[in-house]
Amino acid sequence: MSKYQPNIDFDRLVAIDIHTHASVSGRMQRDPCAIAFDEAMEKYFRSGKPPTIPEVAHYYRERRMAAVIFTVDTEAGMGHWRIANEEVAEVASEHNDVLIPFASIDPARGRMGVREARRMIEEYGVRGFKFHPSAQGFYPNDPGCYPLYEVIADAGLPALFHTGQTGVGAGMPGGMGIKLKYSNPIYLDDVAADFPTLQIVMAHPSFPWQDEALAVATHKPNTWIDLSGWSPKYFPANLVQYANSLIKDRVLFGSDYPALTPDRWMADFDRIAIKPEVRPGILKHNALRLLGLGS
């Protein structure tokens, strides 16, 4: 095991994708429950077969992009085996010219989750943490989550939260039990207030709560918005307006790969009314600042 250290030529990069998924483990057998889940996700997003982590690295290397990559710990919330955070970090270390590892820990793990977070930071060098309130079944402002946030904030790392509607469980009976209410971004306002040094990324256009996300982002300077999971041609007008102005330094390119490819995202991004002087920040420079990798 070697601690992750990036070896990325940032000057050469076209973009940094802040939101990609490790969907297939190279070390453990596939969870049978994940097969039906993946089929539903492929139908919802009209995407292809999910890649392994090395395949993600190869894909982004070809495109001169770097990618933040993570699994999602839904063992408690959905009963799906998770890909180990250790595997994500170790494989990212093998492909540290393109991959940047985040960890994912369900707050329901309690003190053991706090211990795991410390270990992933200190021993594996992860560069942030991913949460999915709907799939993990928690309100982000639940005080029971705060010990975990404290570890992340103390390390100076960002926390990325799914917000808004989700493709997870979409079209399946009962939505696979997924409840959308947990992913209203207004709950992150409490977290941003209580942890003013914690950099919080609100992932996705936050349908149907876009106004709430923009209100939080304009009020709390430690909050960011990533643009993953939607083709830019469907971005609401108010999101484009704010991305061009009030929060232009805290908006991030993200694709949600493999659900949405960066090829499609970038092609559609070229066609929307983002100012030329704002585009480089969204595509790369804002992420460099967030991740502490450059100015």
d(CA 166, CA 11): 34
Q: Can you give the pTM of this predicted structure?
A: 0.93
Q: Is the pLDDT of residue 45 over 60?
A: no
pLDDT digits (tens, 9 = 90+) for 91-133: 999 999 999 999 999 999 999 999 999 999 999 999 999 999 9
d(CA 33, CA 31): 5
Q: Where are the domains of the chain?
A: 15-290
Burial class (CB in 10 A: 0-12, 13-18, 19+), 11: exposed
Assigned superfamily of 15-290: Metal-dependent hydrolases (3.20.20.140)
143: Cβ–Cβ under 8 A, 6 or more apart, which residues?
Answer: none
Record the tokens describing residue 147, joined without a space: 């010990």
Q: Is the pLDDT of residue 188 over 80?
A: yes
pLDDT digits (tens, 9 = 90+) for 193-230: 999 999 999 999 999 999 999 999 999 999 999 999 99
